[in-house]
Amino acid sequence: MQDIRANNVDRFLGYSQFYDQNRPVPPADVVRILTRYLTDAPNRVVDVGCGTGLSSFIWLDQAKDIIGVEPNDDMRETAISHWQSQQRPKNLRFVKGISDQLELDSNSVDILTCSQSFHWMDPQPTLRHCGNLLVCCVMVESLLRDGGVFAAYDCDWPPTFTKEVEEHYHTLIALAEARARVIELAPAEQLAFKWDKNKHLQQIRESQLFSFSKEIVFHQWERCEANRYANIALSQGGLQTALKLGADDLHKEIQAFQDHVQEAFASQTQDILFSYRMRLGIK
């Protein structure tokens, strides 16, 4: 488990700027949905696995205390750079940490979110830390207050565009992940591990920590240029991992995908639909 945890963190080394420039900012619906379920404006929001802070800054005018938790130094430094460029808002801070070792006061969190990150965490220790137990089975005080809301939300990849481009996107990512798993390229102990996103709601329910749970689907249209659409595929962890491990043969496949996207966009900015799935639980 320690190897998996380290590999999942290291997976994002070296491309935080690329990630930050191309990934979508979570829509305002996230704040509206979670605030309604909380029934009041949150005092403290903790965004675990916050990356470059895209999912933390959306709470700036909505919560008194926002904590972005990110174990990867590159990602966290980019988040801090954005924080500095926004006049260092006092109600937002970024700290180094991982999901099952959060050093916060008991019952101090109103909303705890994992945006594009819960699949990199071992679900039960993460959930149990939000409830009562740490992975090492040492009893700890719960972080999430009674009535507090936990939410794991993700984009569906690829963003909605055309059948041909989306199929090419899937093919490229599948090829990259296969390359990364070739035994000669990456011994098992060097690989990152993803938990199944489709089981997030099941994990939330099986934790038995929540009185209410559900899945919510919502969408957001964004104007998008060809370069950004292609770069969203290139920002996927599996592809970046394969390249870092030395899968140079992927460059030809990447170029073919980029050319396909450029042709499909026909030198125009296009309306692209980003779809989100949120799995939430109320304690």
Output the pLDDT for position 185. 53
Least confident of 73-82, 130-139, 142-151, 218-227: 130-139
3-state secondary structure 135-173: CCCCECCCCEEEEEEEEEEEECCCCECCHHHHHHHHHHH
Distance, CA of 110 to chain centre: 20
CA distance 25 to 23: 7
CA distance linking residue 20 with residue 93, whole number of Å: 18
Q: Please report the pLDDT score of residue 3 as a whole number.
A: 40
Q: Could you tell me the pTM of the whole model? A: 0.83
Among 32-41, 68-77, 103-112, 184-193, which is the least confidently predicted range? 184-193
Place 177 in a pLDDT band, splitting at 50, 70 and 90.
Answer: confident
* Per-residue pLDDT reduced to its tens digit, 24-68: 999 999 999 999 999 999 999 999 889 999 999 999 999 999 999
The answer to whether the beta carbons of residues 277 and 215 sit under 8 Å apart is yes
Residue 223 neighbours by CB under 8 Å, 6+ apart: 269, 270, 271, 272
The per-residue pLDDT for 40 is 93
CATH topology for the 2-282 domain: Rossmann fold (3.40.50)
Q: What percent of the chain has pLDDT over 70?
A: 79
Contact 176, 250 (CB under 8 A): yes
Domain positions in the chain: 2-282
Within a 10 A sphere around the Cβ of 140, how many other Cβ atoms?
A: 16
